[in-house]
Structure 1
Amino acid sequence: HLRPGGWFEMQEVYHFPISASKTRPMPADHPVAQYWSLINDGLAHLGINFHAAADGRLAAMMRDVGFVNVTERVLQIPIGTWAKNKVLKTVGLYWRTILTDGIQAIALGPLTRGCGWSREQVELFLIEVRKAYMDNSMLAYMPLHIVYGQKPEGY
């Protein structure tokens, strides 16, 4: 239980890749973009909202339940080693490793139960997605939403 005046923080990654390139946006037919779009479709068929972190929704939910001083920060987590900053380059390597190591575990439920794919279809599709994750040319990142707020006095 949170005491009145106490602070609560949530962190959520919006798992849809965005290109940091001003001249080359992430095309919808890019295998990584297709992957996350299909995951979204599969989860939607299973009744799960994949976009909980997007468009200020977490901050709005906190305000809706009475939190005050709600603040949202959005950071860019690079996918891969394209970032010039040494720390972000390392973060991107780790993030890509997490995403590729979990690619099958993330995909199987939504794509088989949600989209009706066979396991073999999923495995074949994931070959292209794994290859695409290794390509740094898209300058892909995922937004990390950090939202915090204060429980009002008297609650």
Structure 2
Amino acid sequence: MSSQAPIEFDPSVVGDLDDASVLGDAGSLRDSTTSITSSIYQYRNIHGRLYQSSETTEYWAPTDNRHIEGNDVAHQTTLMLMNNKLFAAPIENPKRVLDIGTGTGIWAIDVANDFPTAKVIGTDISAVQPSWIPPNCTFQIDDAQLDWTFQKSSFDLIHIRNLFGGIDDWPKLYRQAFEHLEPGGWIESIEIDIETRSENPRIHNDPDHIFKKWCKLFWEAGDKTGRTFRIARDGQMQKYIEEAGFVDVQHRWWKVPIGGWARDPLLKQVGLYNGLYIDLSLDGFALYPIGQILGWSLDQVHDLVSGMRKEFTDPKSLPYYNLHLVYGRKP
């Protein structure tokens, strides 16, 4: 396993201051993979935002058009950080690909377009994927927290991205990925550390700053639901992936600016895209975890979100978060 230590207040950044052979036997299907029925399109409406209503999971983030747009912007941000590569795992021509928590399906669709001989399956609890998709791409309604019903050793690449706050047992998730990869297949997991950090030492060292208050509230909400928002911290991803049996495990991470404050041209562009993603997503992020789980009033949630927005627009805030990617190979 390899990892880099964070770069503290880097002046170059600061400036002056994401076929049948892969399908299980239909007779063995249980609660995991579900056919698309009218119930899948039933949503919870929380203060005007739509949230997925699932028999197995109440997911914390919205599934409405505003949040979907934000997720697609976040996909572009990740592509830019990865030099327009869809995955970092050293597999040149994947044949059977599984995308867990596919969301809008944009990653799965891009992989299907780039590798037309591959069979790509995307799974999610929400039916928010488009109907116009490549012929080698399919989507299934599926809760990855349940026992997977695909044939074991079916895939050569399993991709997992941005499931923080939505998984109750990460070691089990990685173990199931191990079981369903063929020997030599790769897992790749990408998650955000939701702590908003700052390249401004005054903010970085302020324990009472709203950036620190925000992440602590999400950590508390995740602790209450048993679905952690801390999965990208303290080396947990690589630890669980190694414990699942993977070898050649590698860890990469990026500082992702929020807004166009970085001097580096690429990071400036990334920050502008990421700022749009945060702007589209911020209130939707807070409504359920902080309003519903922690019991804050709507006015209190709005005040918190307004405080975050104000800090993001302060040119001296220099905000960013860390994005972590871990990949490994099944022997």
TM-score (norm 1): 0.89
Cα distance per residue 1:84-111 (max 9 Å; x no partner): 1111111111112211211111101111
SS for the counterpart of 1:76 is: strand
1:94 maps to what in 2?
A: 273
Give 2:269's aligned amino acid.
Answer: T
What secondary structure is seen at the aligned counterpart in 1 of 2:234? helix
Q: Which residues in structure 2 correspond to 1:120-139 (within 5 Å)?
A: 120-139=299-318
Match of 2:238 in 1: 59
The alpha carbon displacement at 1:47 in A equals 2.1
Counterpart pick for 1:13 among 184, 192, 209:
192
1:12 touches 1:145 (CA, 8 Å); kept in 2? Answer: yes
Per the TM alignment, residue 24 of structure 1 is displaced from its structure 2 partner at its CA by 3.1
Letter in 1 for 2:208: D
Q: Using the alignment, how far apart are the partners of 1:4 and 1:141 within structure 2?
A: 38
Identify, as 1 or 2, the structure richer in helix.
Answer: 1
Matching residue of 1:24: 202
- Counterparts of 1:36-55 in structure 2 under 5 Å? 36-55=215-234
The match for 1:118 is 297
For residues 316 and 191 of structure 2, the distance between their equivalents in structure 1, rounded to whole angstroms, comes to 25
Aligned match of 2:132: none
Q: What stretches of structure 1 of length at least 5 have no aligned partner?
A: none
Structure 1 range deviating more: 25-34 or 123-132: 25-34
Q: Give SS of 2:327's match.
A: strand
Residues in 2 aligned to 1:144 and 1:123: alpha-carbon distance in whole angstroms: 26
**Does the CA-based 8 Å contact 2:312-2:319 persist in structure 1?**
no
Q: 1:36 and 1:101 mapped to 2: Cα distance?
A: 18
Q: What displacement does 1:43 show? A: 2.5
Q: 1:28 to 1:80 in 2, by over 3 A?
A: farther
How far is the alpha carbon of 1:5 from its aligned partner? Answer: 0.9
Q: Which residue of 2 aligns with 1:103?
A: 282
Cα contact 1:9–1:149 (8 A) shared by 2: yes
Q: C-alpha distance in 1, partners of 2:212/2:241?
A: 29
Report how far residue 42 of structure 1 moved.
Answer: 2.2
Asked whether 1:70 is paired with 2:243, we answer: no
* Residues 100 and 133 in structure 1, CA contact (< 8 A), matched pair in contact too: no
Which structure has more RCO (C-alpha within 8 Å, separation ≥ 6)? 1
Moved more, 83-92 or 128-137: 128-137
CA distance in 1, matches of 2:270, 2:198: 16
In 2: Cα distance, 1:83 partner to 1:145 partner:
20
Q: CA deviation at 1:35?
A: 2.0
Give, in whole Å, the separation in 2 of the partners of 1:120 and 1:99.
20
Q: Which moved more, 1:25-34 or 1:88-97?
A: 25-34
| Unpaired stretches in structure 2, ≥5 consecutive residues | 1-179
Quick one: distance in 2 between partners of 1:80 and 1:62? Answer: 32
- Judge conservation of contact 1:16–1:33 (CA < 8 Å) in 2: yes
Deviates more, 1:117-126 or 1:32-41: 32-41
Q: Which residue of 1 aligns with 2:329?
A: 150
Q: How many residues align?
A: 151
Q: What is the alpha-carbon distance in structure 1 between the residues aligned to residue 329 and residue 317 of structure 2?
A: 38
1:141 correspondence with 2:320: yes
Equivalent position SS for 2:262? coil
Give the % identical residues: 36
SS where residue 289 of structure 2 aligns?
helix
TM-score (norm: length of structure 2): 0.43
Q: Deviation of residue 114 (structure 1)? A: 2.1
Tell me, in whole angstroms, the C-alpha distance in 1 between the residues paired with 2:252 and 2:307: 33
